[in-house]
Chains A and B, each alone.
Chain A
Amino acid sequence: DEFLEIAPTGSLADAQVSTSEGIDGLLIGAYSMINGNLGGNRGSTPNHWLVGSVLGGDANKGTDPGDGAALATFQRFQADATFNEINGLWTARYEGISRCNTVLSTVAKSSESLPAEKVTEVNAQARMLRGHFYFDLKKNFNNIVVFDETVLPTDIVLIPNDGDAWALIEADFQYAYDNLPETTDAGRVNKWAAASYMGKAKLYQKKYAEAKTWFDDVIANGVAWNGEKYALLDDYAKVFNAAFDNHVEAIMDVESSNETGSVRNSNWFDDLNYPYLTGNEGPGDCCGFFQPSFELANSFRTGADGLPLLDKSYNLPANEVKNDMGVATVDDFTPDAGPLDPRIDFSIGRRDIPYLGWKPHPGQAWIRVQAYGGPYSPKKFVYYADQEGTLTDASSWTRGYATMNYPIIRFADVLLMAAEAEIEAGTLENARTYVNMVRARAAKSEFWIKNEDGSDAANYVIEEYPAAQFASKESATEAVRFERKLELSGEGHRFFDLVRWGVAAEEINDYLNYEVQFLQSAYSGASFTAGKDEYRAIPQTQLDLQPGVLQQNPGY
């Protein structure tokens, strides 16, 4: 019989991972799932560019109709439960939960041999991460399966998807808040990440007063990993620049790095989200996904008073942002001369505007199929010309593996969430203060995008909100919500915000009806169905694997 026993190679058994070092490794394995990589599925990306930004109207799928063809169905709200990307989202997040639970159960088994502080230190991180993964599932699917580390896999598969996720999420964030240190390694979660995320969880549940308490705490006392007090960076551009990663505005990030032996540790989720056919004169070179929308560009239109057109008149022909649809790169084009929020040119790549140290965006030459994806290129998470090879990972076929961290929560986001909570508390002036902090940073003209001659690249006009806008709850709410759209565009938040505000059907159908005028083949036949499209279908694959256990979401 000894002859018939061969020990496995290249892997570890229970006993080896149950040591202190083994548990550290398991915890890193759990962190590893923050970037959503379980087979490289576009639906599972941590920045939610597809399920948050594209569905929310920040951008369209882009590129060519045949490239990621199924995503086109998705952006029209026509994808059914068999849409594979959604299965990727479900499985990647549950993989994250599974790894957290492995950490927690291994710690529980080995707790006698571990120092007590080690137990709490590891458990607090694992629970923080687990809360994050559950939150992600909750906002995408709403009806999910909820369990903790004490449930055996054989029992997990019998649990229906009607669990009380918020209870577990809050318990996890609370434990994390109580037990995590303030200062940590730059890539790990700290106490204030837990507090911020707890506030966000309260906000999603419309527990505004509790949310306010948490946000007040973060704003007053929160510090970044290195102990520095949270603050907005001076320069909006630095938030999206890998050279400044782990800055004081970052509360919880997806860490990204190069030279790791796998491009999956860099921004694999944005690897195709670059202008197309740029050659050496532009970043990434491929593939033209994630093109900002006409509607988003127009949203940056301001009045002469430097304030956004909250009445949506930005989509009127007179106010639309002039673009180069149908204009060849070799033909002349005069860019829009009207007043614009300066953040447009940090967020959207458009013709003739300087592009991150590369040449000014040449328009059509960098767009794959303009008639399908529109005239704009992504810009926020694109790397600078001087970062090629140093803050990108060049070891794969495309140059598009950048190392910029993606902010899951950043301080500007907290300020704007806090503003919402303040409005509900009736302290409208506090809300105005927070919104104006965000606008004031954007208004620092020394950091605006400049032409080579030092002049502003466009006619930027931005002012802080006057008290009048915050005189009523309604107009204050309007302003805060619009500020989130402008400040956080392309960061994967928009769709979830619209859903939690209860305005998704109206806003998104308006968006689709506007956009289809320009992108006929991308959007014809698209519409958002209230009561169904707020949440993603429970993947058919999962319903098939757990027949009679999982229930499909309404409308699918």
Chain B
Amino acid sequence: PQTAFANSSSDLKIEVKDIFQTTVSGIVLDSGGIPLPGANVVVKGTTNGTQTDFDGNFTLEVEDDAILVISYLGFVTKEVAVDGQSTINITLADDAAALDEVIVTGYQTETKRETTAAVSIVKAEELAAIPSGNVEQQLQGRVAGVTVITNGQPGTTSQIRIRGFGAFGGNEPLYVVDGLPVSNTEFLNPDDIETTTVLKDAAAASIYGARAANGVVVYTTKQGKRGKRKTEMTVNISSGVTDPNVGGALEILSPQDQARYTHIAYENDAAVSGDPVDYRHPQYGSNAIATLPDYLYADGVSGASASQVNLAQIQSNYENDPDNTFLIKPNLAGTNWYKEITRIAPISRFSVGFDGGTDNGRFYSGISGQNQSGILLENEFVRYTARFNSEWDIAPWLSIGENFQATYRSVTGGFGGNGGIGGANSESVILSAIRMPSIIPVYDEFGSFASTKAAGFGNARNPVRVLKNDNGDDKAYAVGGTGNIYVLLKPVDGLTIRSSLGGTYSNSHYNSYSYKYLGDSEPQASNGYSEGSNYFFNWTFTNTASYDKLFGKHRVKALAGIEALNTGVGRSINGSGINPFSTDLDFQSLSVVQSPVVNSNQFKGVNFYSLFGKLDYSFDDRYYITGVLRRDGSSRFGENNRYGVFPAVSGAWRVIAESFMQDQDVVSDLKFRAGWGQMGNSNNVDPNNQYSLYASDRSSTFYQTNGQASGTDEGFAASRIGNPDAKWETSTTLNIGFDASFFNNKLEFIFDWWQKDTEDLLYQLPLPGVTGNYASAPSVNIATMSNKGVDFEIVGRGNFTEDFSFEARVTAAFLTNKIEALAPGLDFFDGPSVRDIVATRNAVGHSLSSFYGYNVTGYFNSQAELDASVDVVRDEAGVAVLNQNGETTVALDAEGKPIPAQDGQGLGRFKYEDINGDGRITADDRKFLGSPVPDFTGGLTLNFKYKKLEFETYWYTSIGNEIWNQTKWYTDFYGVFEGSAKGPAAFNSWTPELGNNAQVPRWESASNFSTNTVGNSWYVEDGSYLRLQRLSFSYDFRGDLTDKLGLTKLKIGLSANNIWTYTNYSGIDPGVGGGADTNFGIDIGNYPVGPQYMINFEIGI
């Protein structure tokens, strides 16, 4: 090499260096010695660089005194001097504090170091760990402050609540996938997800303005990485089963015990009435000792003895009329109905991801399939996805990109409206299994389903028949695509302009069959068929400009944006009819049914038009301040209040960067954060709220005016009363927190104290009956609600030996939810009733959906107590002086107090607390009995790594919530549907000896105020629980074996999920949901979450 044309000393220096150019190569490894593909290796101060290949190798031409900067996401960036070496092997340390971890927030990304807000990140592998049909379920316990209420149906929608319940409805967070707001995330394949960020406070979320009040969950899918390299393929395969946990199901009485306790009930009835005992059950004989019949039902005769049954005649009747001829023998061993409706259900999922890049572009594509059976027969979930994400440079200042996913999704045989959330409120098949007496076999002697046509067993429907016949042939699916295309412009240094157009289109169709069945006591008289279809389309157009520039120690980032979107237009059509000529599946359609009814509907969605901006300023990585402003306009509101403005400010002080913190090695990071801001919510209001409308409705506004026996005339009625003045709900959030880590990041704390006050809550103030109740009441901005809490996260990590490390992560949240005000003059509203029992009340001063009813103080244990329990006459001072019979002495209880009079009172029945002390139990004696809102929720993840073996366990707990166990209403009172299956509570029903220790009231037929017709504290149980959600082992084969096989990755894992629960709750599963935020926590035949056992393979090529 030669020196040439050197004309200044500095130039000379460069030239000289050029002379000593050399080739350096090496391998980049992680601390476990595993090669890191795709790590950046750059010569410091230049653009000269490369990326490591799939074995972590790199080769680079450098000057021999160059300094290499080696960086890799999630690892501490390292600088190495070349010093003339030709081979350099580099080991990168895990960047435990991950301060430079990139967080995808609203419309932009930032590093953890600079964030001033309360945001949480969920690791991609945590989302993928438990196979569920909906990734949102995996947020449970992973993010402090996020409550997930779900159930065991595959593909079910869950109730996700970020930092409490801001409103009476519409509390679901905003989901954003690759910048595109979506109404749900059920389409996402967890293996496609790169990052998940939960924006919890206003500082983070208010950039989403009117839709951010319930927090925002931001997903980004895998994007591929830039740099010319081999395309990488990753294959994930999981397979396993869900176990229905039959052993943990509710017990029901054996046939013999059921019969015995039926007779005990008759004896107790007789004791009350003073009449001789009437052993009257149609099956158990008329003697004191109950006997079981030879036939429960023999073609019209219930409780028949063998001698009464003419089998030949019945056989011939069966041949003539098989639908209506049944011959049912008792199942003396007892049918376990829960077992009969459930199964060990297989799950499998595969994903193949391709991750590639070139110098001027990158792409990721993935396909996946998930087949998951529910533990209930015929409950199936299927999802296939294909994703393609890419980004290409057209010029150094211009790039285009797209994210696109096509999805096929099918859920059949599930139950409950609203994607499965509503299952807990309907009379589900699980409840049928609990109500079906064990003496009834699944099938009769002819192989038909046996059921309650046999008299004396209540009105449950054979749930196996319901599942197999009515669900087995059902089909339902949705196909759709979602995605966006975008353009990135970088006209000048630091400025990025992004324009994105995205949307979702989906189309769905279902066929549903129900079959005539005459064997139930409340039979299904017709064959039914229904079919329906809909399409849905939404779009979002977003334009943003962002600017990021460092001026010495001053850093300025700015973002400005404009966005227009529609939440979804569409149409639906569905029809139903009965008794097609043939029930052959190939024959049935709406064209061949009788009495066809067709309905259709159209919707136009809601338009939003928004302007927003964000300004971040930081000084010397020590002081940060951020301001956010968004203005939203929405067609949901009338012109008076169409626009809302949502500001937020937040700041942070990174104490660790101060000079006085440099000479210590205890604290490795310390940052204080504070933020204030406002966010909106408009979910809980009908798009037509501003209009007064009339509608026609076949069931409520039609009338036959011509005297015909068929058909009807169309009429109208006022269907909606408009409120043109409604506006957003506004929640004001204050968040104060700190992030700290100690001992070289071996111990980390993230702490946030927050308060969220929601004002102008939209509430459909119930209209007094006198104004008419058919028209929907308008939502008015009237109520206020407060939520406050503390979220924290503690992470501890360390090494026992060089090969043996651990990490422990605790996420925890305390929450208080309180309704602060409803409407003037209105202090509460009640939830709906289940079998005439209203369990919940939403009242000022209490949490949403608080339980409300009479307080059981014990049972009436003696005749003396009953005699004392009479209405009293009081003197002016309120002292009882006369009983209702005019006697001057009033019987008193042991404590010298009169016992209040109570309707339906009797020995062994509930005794209620006389709260207002007026001597009579009335509606005024109800009180609040608990709340389904947990005080505390938390998750604990423990991870141990020994060489290539990894063990992980994950626990979840919910503490301080109550459950209203409505299921007991069916199983624990003889008088509820006499003859239906009862539980072992019968054994501990009231006797004089048991007294207040009895588990349930006296076993008798009575059904009244003092037994089972009103809600009371007996239904309310502690719903706290601790659950071992996950236990997994995995082994990473990377090393010689993978090299030999030519693989970049090979990992095998075994895991078990939901395997153990500790709770005092007596029902089947304490994870109880509900149909609405104003009415949840009621257990009535919920779909339980069963244990799962899985094996997983991850292969990289």
Q: Is B770 within 8 A of A25, CB to CB?
A: no
| Cβ contact of A258, chosen from B459, B601, B703, B709, cutoff 8 A | B709
Q: Is B459 within 8 A of A67, CB to CB?
A: yes
Task: Please count how many residues in chain A sit with their CB below 8 Å of the partner chain's CB atoms.
Answer: 117
**What is the CB-to-nearest-CB distance from B871 to chain A, in angstroms, rounded to a whole number?**
11
A521 interfacial contact with B, CB 8 Å: yes
Q: Provided the pairs A80-B923, A82-B923 are in contact, do residues A38 and B774 lie with their beta carbons within 8 angstroms?
A: yes
B1016 interfacial contact with A, CB 8 Å: no
**What is the CB-to-nearest-CB distance from B205 to chain A, in angstroms, rounded to a whole number?**
23
Give Cα distance in the complex from A48 to B976, angstroms.
25
Give Cα distance in the complex from A259 to B1005, angstroms.
41
- Which residues of chain A (228-267) have a CB below 8 Å from chain B? 242, 245-246, 255-265
Q: Is A34 within 8 A of B1008, CB to CB?
A: no
Q: Is A78 within 8 A of B1009, CB to CB?
A: yes
Q: Indicate with 1 or 0, residue by residue over A2-28, a CB within 8 angstroms of chain B CB atoms.
A: 011111111111101100001001111
Q: Is A65 within 8 A of B709, CB to CB?
A: no
Chain B residues with CB under 8 A of A72: 1007-1008, 1013
Chain A residues with CB under 8 A of B711: 257, 259-260
Q: Provided the pairs A188-B705, A398-B525 are in contact, do residues A11 and B688 lie with their beta carbons within 8 angstroms?
A: yes
Give Cα distance in the complex from A5 to B308, angstroms.
75
Give Cα distance in the complex from A14 to B922, angstroms.
45
**What is the CB-to-nearest-CB distance from A270 to chain B, in angstroms, rounded to a whole number?**
15
A53 interfacial contact with B, CB 8 Å: no
Q: Is A145 within 8 A of B770, CB to CB?
A: yes
Which residue in chain A gives the minimum CB-CB distance to B603?
A: A9
Chain A residues with CB under 8 A of B578: 394-395
Chain A residues with CB under 8 A of B710: 257-260, 403
Give Cα distance in the complex from A214 to B182, angstroms.
67
Chain B residues with CB under 8 A of A390: 709
Give Cα distance in the complex from A370 to B455, angstroms.
11
Chain A residues with CB under 8 A of B607: 3-4, 6
B322 interfacial contact with A, CB 8 Å: no
**A165-173, A174-182, A323-331, A425-433 - interface stretch:** A323-331
Q: Is B455 within 8 A of A277, CB to CB?
A: yes
| Cβ contact of A73, chosen from B300, B606, B903, B978, cutoff 8 A | B903
B692 interfacial contact with A, CB 8 Å: yes
- Which residues of chain A (484-539) have a CB below 8 Å from chain B? 520-521, 524-525, 539
Chain A residues with CB under 8 A of B836: 68-70, 84
Chain B residues with CB under 8 A of A90: 769
Q: Is A287 within 8 A of B713, CB to CB?
A: no
Q: Provided the pairs A95-B772, A256-B704, A398-B522 are in contact, do residues A10 and B713 lie with their beta carbons within 8 angstroms?
A: no
Chain A residues with CB under 8 A of B709: 242, 245, 256-258, 390-391, 403
Q: Is A6 within 8 A of B717, CB to CB?
A: no
A1 interfacial contact with B, CB 8 Å: yes
- Which residues of chain B (694-717) have a CB below 8 Å from chain A? 694-696, 698-717
Q: Is A521 within 8 A of B282, CB to CB?
A: no
B109 interfacial contact with A, CB 8 Å: no
| Cβ contact of B705, chosen from A91, A255, A326, cutoff 8 A | A255
**What is the CB-to-nearest-CB distance from B1014 to chain A, in angstroms, rounded to a whole number?**
8
Chain B residues with CB under 8 A of A87: 769
A185 interfacial contact with B, CB 8 Å: yes
| Cβ contact of B702, chosen from A186, A265, A521, cutoff 8 A | A265
Q: Provided the pairs A73-B903, A255-B704, A371-B280 are in contact, do residues A99 and B769 lie with their beta carbons within 8 angstroms?
A: no
B interface secondary structure, majority: loop
**A153-161, A202-210, A334-342, A455-463 - interface stretch:** A153-161
B693 interfacial contact with A, CB 8 Å: yes
Chain B residues with CB under 8 A of A8: 687-688, 691, 693
Chain B residues with CB under 8 A of A473: none
| Cβ contact of B977, chosen from A34, A64, A276, A394, cutoff 8 A | A64
| Cβ contact of A257, chosen from B522, B602, B704, cutoff 8 A | B704
**B271-279, B389-397, B440-448, B675-683 - interface stretch:** B271-279
Chain A residues with CB under 8 A of B639: 1, 5
Chain A residues with CB under 8 A of B773: 38, 91, 94-95
Chain B residues with CB under 8 A of A259: 595, 710-711
Q: Is A10 within 8 A of B1013, CB to CB?
A: no
Q: Is B923 within 8 A of A99, CB to CB?
A: no
**What is the CB-to-nearest-CB distance from A92 to chain B, in angstroms, rounded to a whole number?**
8
Q: Is A255 within 8 A of B715, CB to CB?
A: no
Which residue in chain B gives the minimum CB-CB distance to A402?
A: B709
Q: Provided the pairs A258-B710, A365-B300 are in contact, do residues A13 and B774 lie with their beta carbons within 8 angstroms?
A: no
Q: Is B698 within 8 A of A4, CB to CB?
A: no
B201 interfacial contact with A, CB 8 Å: no
Q: Is B324 within 8 A of A279, CB to CB?
A: yes
Q: Is A95 within 8 A of B324, CB to CB?
A: no
Q: Is B922 within 8 A of A80, CB to CB?
A: yes
Give Cα distance in the complex from A280 to B322, angstroms.
12
Chain A residues with CB under 8 A of B564: 3
Interface centre among A5, A98, A225 (most CB of B within 10 A): A98
A29 interfacial contact with B, CB 8 Å: yes
| Cβ contact of B716, chosen from A29, A265, A365, A398, cutoff 8 A | A29
Q: Indicate with 1 or 0, residue by residue over A130-157, a CB within 8 angstroms of chain B CB atoms.
A: 0000000000000001010000010011
Which residue in chain A gives the minimum CB-CB distance to B689?
A: A8
| Cβ contact of B772, chosen from A3, A11, A97, A545, cutoff 8 A | A97
Chain B residues with CB under 8 A of A22: 694, 716
Q: Is A397 within 8 A of B717, CB to CB?
A: no
Chain A residues with CB under 8 A of B459: 64, 67, 287
B247 interfacial contact with A, CB 8 Å: no
| Cβ contact of B768, chosen from A246, A398, A546, cutoff 8 A | A546
Interface centre among B771, B973, B978 (most CB of A within 10 A): B771
A441 interfacial contact with B, CB 8 Å: no
B833 interfacial contact with A, CB 8 Å: yes
Q: Provided the pairs A38-B774, A364-B282 are in contact, do residues A66 and B1012 lie with their beta carbons within 8 angstroms?
A: yes
Q: Is A38 within 8 A of B304, CB to CB?
A: no
Chain B residues with CB under 8 A of A98: 718, 771-772, 774
Interface centre among B459, B578, B714 (most CB of A within 10 A): B459
Which residue in chain B gives the minimum CB-CB distance to A225?
A: B707
Q: Provided the pairs A286-B521, A520-B275 are in contact, do residues A76 and B1008 lie with their beta carbons within 8 angstroms?
A: yes
Q: Is B1005 within 8 A of A65, CB to CB?
A: yes
**What is the CB-to-nearest-CB distance from A320 to chain B, in angstroms, rounded to a whole number?**
17
Q: Provided the pairs A257-B704, A372-B1005 are in contact, do residues A265 and B712 lie with their beta carbons within 8 angstroms?
A: yes
B1024 interfacial contact with A, CB 8 Å: no
B209 interfacial contact with A, CB 8 Å: no
Chain B residues with CB under 8 A of A31: 703, 705, 715
Pick 17 A–B contacts, CB within 8 A, sort by A.
A4-B607, A4-B634, A5-B635, A12-B693, A25-B696, A64-B459, A69-B1012, A76-B1008, A80-B923, A186-B705, A260-B710, A277-B521, A365-B455, A371-B278, A371-B280, A391-B709, A399-B525
The chain A residues found within 8 Å of chain B, CB to CB, are 1, 3-14, 16-17, 22, 25-32, 34-35, 37-38, 64-70, 72-73, 76, 78, 80-82, 84, 87, 90-91, 94-95, 97-99, 102, 145, 147, 153, 156-157, 159, 185-188, 225, 242, 245-246, 255-265, 276-277, 279-281, 285-287, 326, 328-330, 364-365, 369-372, 390-391, 393-395, 397-399, 403, 520-521, 524-525, 539-542, 544-548
The chain B residues found within 8 Å of chain A, CB to CB, are 269, 272-273, 275, 278, 280, 282, 300-304, 308, 321, 324, 453, 455, 458-459, 518, 521-526, 564, 576-579, 594-595, 597, 599, 601-607, 609, 633-635, 639, 642, 687-688, 691-696, 698-721, 766-774, 825-826, 828, 833, 835-836, 838, 903-904, 922-923, 973, 975-978, 1004-1009, 1012-1013
Sorted nearest first, the 9 A-B pairs with minimum C-beta distance are A186-B707, A98-B772, A28-B715, A66-B976, A65-B1007, A70-B836, A29-B715, A262-B699, A29-B717
A395-B576, A521-B1004 known; 18 new pairs, CB 8 Å cut-off, are A1-B639, A5-B635, A31-B715, A32-B715, A38-B773, A65-B1005, A69-B836, A69-B1012, A156-B768, A257-B709, A258-B709, A286-B523, A287-B522, A372-B978, A394-B578, A539-B769, A547-B825, A548-B825
